[in-house]
Structure 1
Amino acid sequence: MADCLGSKFHVDEKRLNEVLDKARAFALTKGICMQSEQQGQNGTMLAQHFPFTLFPSVVPRTCFQEAVDCMLDFNTLIHKVAHDHNFLENSLKNVLEVDEFTQGLWKIYTQVREEGYTQPLSLGLFRNDFMIDALDPDHIQIKQVEINTIAAGASSLGSLLVLLHRFTLDMIGKYYDKEEVLNNNASLGTAWGLLKAWGLYRRKRAVILFVVRETESNIFDQRHLEFKVFSLNPGVRVLRRTYLDIYNGASLTEDKRLLVDGDEVAVVYLRAGYAPDDFPTHKEWDARLKLERSLAVKCPSIQYHLAGLKKIQQELTLPGSVEQFIKDPAAVRRIRATFVKQYSLDLGPEGDKGVELGRNDPHMYVLKPQREGGGHNLYGNDIRTFLERHHNSKERNAYTLMERIFPKANKNYLVTPGTPFALSDVISEIGIYGVFIGSANEVKINMQCGHMLRTKLLGTDESGLRTGHACLDTPFLVN
């Protein structure tokens, strides 16, 4: 079953091209789309289908279930880390010496913490990403790549793609049941989380604010979520604004209620703000601070954002770190079973050990900065070059070294511009979505709400969807 499901049947080239053409049309009619880089006349939006695989990719059911089963544990872990000031400060202190973006986040965190959090509740719409490590073929296991606490996208498009993949399987006569190609409620769960946070604000006329980029290729994923919110509760309006819009058109009342062009905001949902280029001037930083100081429920709050940084992930792999926050031994085992080894690169004896590992065997590791959104990691000889250049520099403090995960390859067809349409060797990454709402002292909601799969050519290092490195996919679960 390691082959593409489509390759198990004799499908001639003519028939395969028919499936391809109809799959592309299916994607467009269902809105599995992204904004084209080309612009129509008078600035009108042009759409193209989102990159996707022609068929679902095989995933061992036991590995998928292990990823699902630990999601509530990770939700709780991130929440508790986010509310432990000493852990955040001790973990990030060396990063803060050299990384300007993390410094900007920390400055906001410090100010709102010293003022006292206006809104005690935080909303987490998390996505926990895993790969299935097959370095030891006799011991296949799920391993965590990262957990995303800000702008964890693709929930809407991933929920739709299962319909496309059932369609392509039907077209080639491949029998399957609903337990092999699961329904995916990620979009519904994410929308429900936003509405639950809106309800806890207790102001029926208040709106939900999506903070977005001026130009966003992934706008359809965001719009699907907006319309899902509307379908669940037509009385709730969703606004879309950039950080500059907020700087120019938002204000705080005396009791810190956030007003955007006259509308009171109940929930702030950040789909921008995870990268330095989202903050080219002080105006964007001032806008983020304004949001954070408000009474609105933030998704993520600044402390949730910090808790998702790569340095925090590395610190949590250290002995005793998880146990500091999670007391249930079974939950600790579920979490730790997904960890690969990670190493500090902080200037000093401990970091020197990590530097030597990376220099001596760079192809066994990934070098990660404190960034989201794909396209930032270093691999292979680039790791050695970086570590040799910064061997005696604090610049290395901003990075962590992570053991590389080696998944087993499958075969599939990638339907994406710039990639030949051919049966290719591919590898996949599983994302599990979670919703968490709580304060430092109370948990309101903790749930797992769906999944996504992204697939890329074997040999491709990065796996970001928005950056064009991977295709959207669906798991075909096998025993």
Structure 2
Amino acid sequence: MLDSAPKTPTLKCGRAAQMETEGGSDSKPMLDLHSLDDDLVQKMVYDALVWSSLHGLVVGDRNVQRSGTVPGVGMVHAPFALLPTAFPENQWKVASEVAPIFNELVDRVSLDGKFLQESLSRTKKVDAFTSRLLDIHSKMLEINKKEEIRLGLHRSDYMLDEQTKLLLQIELNTISTSFPGLSSMVSELQRSLLRNYGEHLGCDFNRIPSNDAADRFSEALVKAWIEYDNPKAVIMIVVQPEERNMYDQHWLSFTLKEIYPFMLFLIQP
């Protein structure tokens, strides 16, 4: 059943080029986005914006004062794709299987101070942020500072090569690993849309993989906290001033509160 949305101005929704399925260039695309009826697209966009507002898939509006400092002021929906992109299941499994390997690699590299300093020496000359981090790291090496408890929260970004159909890693984020909260909700948004419109699109919402990144990040933070074996220890989430993406960070703290109510942690705006 299609609910008729109230009459509103035409909502903007770009249409990307169609993606092909795993079979290659001779296969039919999962969905020809350019053949969708405009009225149907408008209804889906309207429902998606309502869903985003109700569920907190939002960021601060840069055009509104205090949108990055006061929660609830000047919120707009976060950018998202209206429909999921067709992606080969075997390549998705590859990305999942190599994630622990990359995690292990990053951990081992982090323990080799000399290698880090030498490998990033050229980057240090042109990037102030990296330079500052390496200076701190160098001072820790000088005083032989070692930490037995380590936690890495990583995010790998991939694209599918159109010609070879192989998975290509764009980057491995070890510092800016944002959107565990909002990305989890994008999956739920698309599942909701396909649940309501899947019959018209010929798509099955059950084929969208679940995304529990926020839960897994929270679980990792708690495990690190437990390793400290100090009931007075806290998890401190520092939200920098004018942070338009504060809601993604608040989703993480909210998940910690809901799943682990015994935890002590501090949010410092």
Normalised-by-shorter TM-score class:
0.7 to 0.9
Instruction: Report deviation, 1:35.
Output: 1.2
Contact conserved, 1:39 with 1:46, CA < 8 A, in 2?
Answer: yes
2:115 to 80, 83, 87: 87
2: CA distance between counterparts of 1:6 and 1:230? 42
Match of 1:203 in 2: 230
Partner of 1:191: 218
Given the alignment, which residue of 131, 135, 138 partners 2:159? Answer: 131
**1:88 shift after superposition:** 1.3
Alignment of 1:22 onto 2:50: no
| One-letter amino acid of the structure 2 residue matched with residue 225 of structure 1 | L
| CA shift for structure 1 position 54 | 1.0
Match of 1:39 among 58, 62, 65: 65
Which stretch of the first structure deviates more once superposed, 207-216 or 37-46?
37-46
Partner letter of residue 16 of structure 1? V
CA shift for structure 1 position 241: 2.9
Could you say if the C-alpha distance between residues 6 and 218 of structure 1 is closer, same or farther in structure 2, counting changes exceeding 3 Å? farther
In structure 2, the CA distance between the partners of 1:100 and 1:218, relative to structure 1 (3 Å rule), is closer
Question: What is the one-letter code of the residue matched to 2:188?
Answer: L
Counterpart position of 1:141: 166
Aligned AA (1:144):
Q
Does 2:50 align with 1:50?
no
Alignment equivalent of 1:100, drawn from 108, 122, 128: 128
Matched, 1:5 2:11: no
Q: Which residue of 1 aligns with 2:139?
A: 111
Q: 2:243 aligns with which of 216, 233, 256?
A: 216
Q: 2:8 maps to what in 1?
A: none
Q: Structure 1: which amino acid aligns with 2:213?
A: A
Q: Deviations over 1:289-347 (max 9, x none)?
A: xxxxxxxxxxxxxxxxxxxxxxxxxxxxxxxxxxxxxxxxxxxxxxxxxxxxxxxxxxx
Tell me if the contact between 1:5 and 1:55 (Cα under 8 Å) persists in the aligned partners: no
What SS does the corresponding residue of 1:192 show, helix, strand or coil? Answer: helix
Contact 1:5–1:56 at 8 Å: present in 2 too?
Answer: no
Distance in 2, Cα, partners of 1:73 & 1:150 = 18
Equivalent-residue separation in structure 1 for 2:110 and 2:194 (angstroms): 43
Q: 1:27 to 1:4 in 2, by over 3 A?
A: farther
Displacement of 1:87 in angstroms is 1.4
Is the 2:157–2:169 Cα contact (8 Å) retained in structure 1? yes
Equivalent residue, structure 2, for 1:72: 100
Distance 1:15 1:99 in 2: 47
Q: 1:175 to 1:58 in 2, by over 3 A?
A: closer
Cα displacement string for residues 408-464 of structure 1 (whole angstroms, at most 9, x for unaligned residues): xxxxxxxxxxxxxxxxxxxxxxxxxxxxxxxxxxxxxxxxxxxxxxxxxxxxxxxxx
Distance across 2 between alignment mates of 1:22 and 1:95: 46
Shift of residue 118 of structure 1? 5.4
8 Å CA contact retained: 1:6, 1:169: no
Where does residue 170 of structure 1 map in the other structure?
195
- 1:113 Cα deviation from its structure 2 partner: 2.1
- Give the structure 2 partner of residue 226 of structure 1: 253
Q: 1:237 to 1:7 in 2, by over 3 A?
A: same
How many angstroms apart in 1 are the aligned matches of 2:146 and 2:112?
18
TM-score, normalised with respect to structure 1: 0.46
Aligned partner of 1:187: which letter?
A
Structure 2 contact 191–205 (Cα < 8 Å) conserved: no
Deviation at 1:175, TM superposition (A): 4.1
Show structure 2 runs of 5+ residues with no match.
1-18, 21-28
8 Å contact 2:117–2:134 — kept in the other structure? no
Structure 1: runs of 5 or more not aligned: 243-479
Distance in 2 (CA, whole Å) between partners of 1:91 and 1:40 is 41
d(CA) in 2 for partners of 1:150 and 1:234? Answer: 27
- What amino acid sits opposite 1:28 in the alignment? S
Separation of aligned partners in 2, 1:56 and 1:98: 38
Find the aligned partners of 2:128 and 2:52 in 1 and give their Cα distance: 40
Q: CA deviation at 1:4?
A: 6.8
d(CA) in 2 for partners of 1:40, 1:109: 35
Residues 113, 141 of structure 2: 8 Å contact kept: no
Which one has a larger percent strand, Structure 1 or Structure 2?
1
Q: TM-score, normalised by structure 2?
A: 0.80
